[in-house]
Amino acid sequence: MKNKLKSWKYPSILLLGIGVSNIGEWIYFIALNLIVLDMTGSPLAVSGLYIIKPLATLLTNFWAGSVIDRLNKRNLMIFLDIFRASFIVLLPFMDSISLIYLVVFILNMASSMFEPTSMTYITKLIPKEERKRFNSLYSLVTSGAFLTGPAFAGLLFVIGTPIFAIYTNAITLFLSGLLTFLMPDLEGHTSSLATQNNVSIKLLKKDWDVVMNFSRQQTYIFIIYFLFSSVMVVMASAVDSLEAAFAKEVLLLTDSEYGFLVAIAGAGIAIGASINSIFAKVFKTSLLMGLGTILVSVGYMIYAFSSSFVMAGIGFFILAFFIAYANTGFLTFYQNHIPVSIMGRVSSIFGLIEAIFIILMTCALGVLTQIISIKLTVIIGVVGMMVISILLYIFTFTPSKNQLLNE
C-alpha cells in the first residue's frame, strides 16, 4: 500500500493541477461571455468567441507539434500556464472588442499547444498498466470541473464581478503552473531546437511526412482515431451548436427548464465518471471505447427524437453518463499506440484536421436548419453519429485486431 501511494504521488499532483486549471477555464469562459455581452449588447459578438477557438487551432496546429516534440514537455507546460495567466490579466483593461478578440485568439493558440503537450507528458509519466485508471480519474476531474466551474463562477458573480472572476482564472492557471513545477522532469533537456534547424517550412514538411507515413503504416490505428473523433468531436460539436435552439424552438423550454436540462447532463457526467473511475480497469479498452461511443449516440438519438422535457432529460443523462467511458477507452488506446516521440506532431496535425471538419460540419448543419427544420437537422446529425459509432464498434471488435486494441 505504501508503494502504491508513493507511485501515485505525481499522478495525483498532475490531476490536481488539471482540475484547478479546468475549473478556472469554466470561470473565465462564463465571465468573458458576460463581459463581451455587457460591452456590446450583441449576442453575435458573444458568438464570435466560439469561432475563435477552431480558428486558433487552424493557425497553431500545423506547426505546434514540431515544436512540442522538440521541447521539454514539463517546462513547456509551465510556460504555457504562466503565459496564459499573464494574458488573461490583460483582458479587464481592454476597452475594444477587437483587442479582446485578439487576446482570446492568442490564449486559444496557447491552449491548442497545451493539450498535445500535456498528453505527451502524461503518456511518459504514467506506466502502461496504470493508464486506464489514470484516464478514468482524468475524466472524473474534468467532468467535476464541468459542474464546479460554473458553480464557482456564479458564486464569484455574487460576491464580486465578472472581472474578479477573470482574475480568479489567472490565479488558477498560475497555481497550475506551480503544481506542474513540482512534477518530475522526464526529459532532462530544455530544447533540442537549439542544436537542430529552427522551425522552417522544410522542417514542417518533414514532420507532416512523418505523421502521414505513420498513418499509412498504422492504418487500423488511424481508422479508429478517425471514427472516434468523427463521433465524439466533430459530429457532437456540430449537433451541440444547435442545442439551445432545439431546446427553445422545438421543445419549447423556458430558460430555467433549459438550465435544468444542462444540470441533468452535468449530473450524468459526474455519476458516470465516478462509477467509471472505480470499474474502468476491469473493462477492456475496446469495450469502453466501442460500446461507450454507441451508448453516447443512443443518448443523442433519444434527445433528437424527444418531444418533451422528460424524454430530452433522459437522453441528456444517458449521453453524459457514458462520455467518461468512451473517453477513457480512447485515451488509453491513443497513449498505448501512438509513439511518444511523435505524439505532439500526431496530436497537433490530427487536431488541425478535426478543427477543419468541425467548422465545415457546424456550418453545414447551420445551413441545413435554414432549408429544413431544426428538429430534422438534429435528427440527421445524430443518425450520422450512430452510423459512425456502429462502424467504430465493428472495427474495435474485429477479431484479428482485438488483441492489438486491448494491449
Write the CATH number for 103.
Answer: 1.20.1250.20
Classify residue 49: in a domain, yes or no. yes
- On whether both 210 and 169 belong to a single domain, the answer is no
Least confident of 38-52, 321-335, 355-369: 38-52
pLDDT at residue number 285: 86
Number of domains in the chain: 2
Indicate the residue type of 403.
Q
- On whether both 5 and 120 belong to a single domain, the answer is yes
Q: Is the pLDDT of residue 373 over 90?
A: no
Residue tagged 430530452 (cell numbers): 312
Classify residue 137: in a domain, yes or no. yes
Distance CA 11, CA 129 (A): 14
Express as a percent the part of the chain with pLDDT over 90: 17
Last residue of a domain, one of 189, 220, 237: 189
- On whether both 154 and 18 belong to a single domain, the answer is yes
- On whether both 264 and 283 belong to a single domain, the answer is yes
Q: Is the pLDDT of residue 5 over 60?
A: no
- On whether both 214 and 116 belong to a single domain, the answer is no
- On whether both 1 and 116 belong to a single domain, the answer is yes
pLDDT at residue number 401: 61
Mean pLDDT, rounded, for 140-153: 72
- On whether both 348 and 308 belong to a single domain, the answer is yes
5-9: long-range pairs with CB below 8 Å, 24+: 7/130
The dihedral through the CA atoms of 89, 22, 357, 204 has a sign that is: positive
317 burial class (0-12, 13-18, 19+ CB within 10 angstroms)? buried
- On whether both 181 and 250 belong to a single domain, the answer is no
| pLDDT level of residue 295 (50, 70, 90 thresholds) | very high
Classify residue 194: in a domain, yes or no. no
Distance CA 68, CA 199 (A): 11
Last residue of a domain, one of 189, 216, 239: 189
Neighbours of 319 (CB within 10 A): 26
Mean pLDDT, rounded, for 121-126: 89
Contact in structure between 29 and 172 (CB atoms under 8 Å): no
- Residue of higher predicted confidence among 5 and 235: 235
Last residue of a domain, one of 133, 158, 189: 189
- Residue of higher predicted confidence among 290 and 186: 290
pLDDT at residue number 195: 41
- On whether both 292 and 231 belong to a single domain, the answer is yes
Classify residue 115: in a domain, yes or no. yes
Classify residue 195: in a domain, yes or no. no
pLDDT at residue number 379: 92
Neighbours of 359 (CB within 10 A): 18
- On whether both 21 and 141 belong to a single domain, the answer is yes
- Residue of higher predicted confidence among 37 and 118: 118
Classify residue 315: in a domain, yes or no. yes
Classify residue 218: in a domain, yes or no. yes
pLDDT at residue number 161: 77
Mean pLDDT, rounded, for 41-50: 72
| pLDDT level of residue 194 (50, 70, 90 thresholds) | very low
The overall longest dimension of the chain from CA atoms, in Å, is: 63
Classify residue 31: in a domain, yes or no. yes
- On whether both 221 and 360 belong to a single domain, the answer is yes
Q: Which domain holds residue 263?
A: 200-407
DSSP state of 247: I
| pLDDT level of residue 369 (50, 70, 90 thresholds) | confident
- On whether both 249 and 289 belong to a single domain, the answer is yes
Summary mean pLDDT of the chain: 84
Burial 220-239 (b: 16+ CB within 10 A, else e): ebbebbbbbbbbbbbbbbbb
